[in-house]
Amino acid sequence: MKTISILHTGGTIASKVSKKGGVEAQYTAKEILDLYPEIKELANIRSRLVANILSENMNFSHYNLIAKEIKKEIAEGVDGIIITHGTDTLHYTSAALSFILENLPISVILVGAQRSSDRGSTDASLNLVSAVNFINKADFAEVAVCMHATMEDTHCSILPASKTKKLHTSRRDAFKSINAKPYAFVYHDKGIDLLRKDFRKVNKKAKLNLKLFNPKIKVGILKTHPNMSAEEISFYKNFHGLILEGTGMGHAPIEKIDKFTSENKKILNEIKKLAKKIPVVMASQCIFGRINMNVYAPGRKLQEIGVLGNLADMTAETAFIKLVWLLSNYKKPDIKDLMSENLRGEISDRTSAEFLEDDFNK
């Protein structure tokens, strides 16, 4: 059997109702393993606690901590690693690890649960078992997410680390891949259905390199909206970067059309001033699709004043993580080109109309 290390970081999967009321991350690494003894029959399991934290409390230092613990396990010769994690920011952590872990030799699979492990309806068991089965059977050396594919306990999706988003607050199938197909479905009783082959293969001779986050980097995410104020832009003047979550294909209220829209001219000026100082990157409030600031005149104006991100199809969360990681590891002049370059599968070479059509017709 393969040797798989499970690194526990807390979250709902490690939670139960506390004496104070409400759910808290309380289970130890041993207790979680004892709750799901079936995984011990599938692999040689190493299990230890890295943190016991609800994921909304995580920050860049935690990403570095997890990455360093992954490196330790790889040095010990394990065949795969599972990270148990809270679901609220699981997609931030998966994207972060995909950037940090350069030249990864084995699988790193993040697993969460929408229902705590003390509940009969918990999804933790199938998620954990599916992650173990995937590592056992797939020649896969990437970071990915393993969560329920449907509300039923039939199968899980293996989702790309930098193209995944939580789309529901409580459903067990809350996590979906965005602008990309899952890598695979893992069935409880039918094995693996591999949907893609464009991933790194296991190579235990590969030398892992960590490119960590600088916890002092400050990057904001600002959602554009009707009746916006220029002060909202200028607030970020002392930050290191900004993700501007625009409407549609990457738009912001920057045109003075009539007497009611004089503030828009001020917004344009503030974005222009900010983009001269720090990277300002456009993402879309839409879930699916691609930024295209070439189509409408205001989009072209945003590009002219230095707003980055045109033609990318990253989620706002991944754009945020990527920008912080770039600022942590590269010089400022390099960031413009690297932000638009596909480094970890975060930007699709082309948008599949078939994928989008299938997705919207579900």
* Catalytic residue IDs: 12, 87-88, 166
Segment holding 359, helix H or strand E: helix 353-360
As beta bridge partners, residue 123 has none
Alpha-carbon distance of 30 to 12, in angstroms, equals: 16
Q: How far are the Cα atoms of 105, 129, 247 from residue 202, in angstroms, in the given order?
A: 5, 20, 40
Distance CA 323, CA 309 (A): 11
CA distances from 131 to 134, 153, 156 (A): 5, 14, 8
Classify 345 in phi/psi space as left (phi over 0), alpha (psi -120 to 50) or beta: left
Q: Which residue, among 55, 143, 131, has the nearest Cα to 95 in the 3D structure? A: 143
Q: Which DSSP category does 202 fall into?
A: P
Give the chain's radius of gyration (CA, Å): 21
As given in the structure block, the two tokens for residue 276 are: 């001269």
Give the C-alpha separation, 56 to 91, whole Å. 11
CB-CB contact of 146 with 89 (8 Å): no
List the alpha helices (DSSP H) in 278-311. Answer: 297-304
The two structure tokens encoding residue 71? 């490196």
The beta strand positions in 234-359, using DSSP E, are 241-246, 280-284
From CA 77, how far away is CA 85, in angstroms rounded?
A: 23
Beta strand pairing status for 164-166 and 219-223? unpaired
Which amino acid type is present at position 65?
A: L
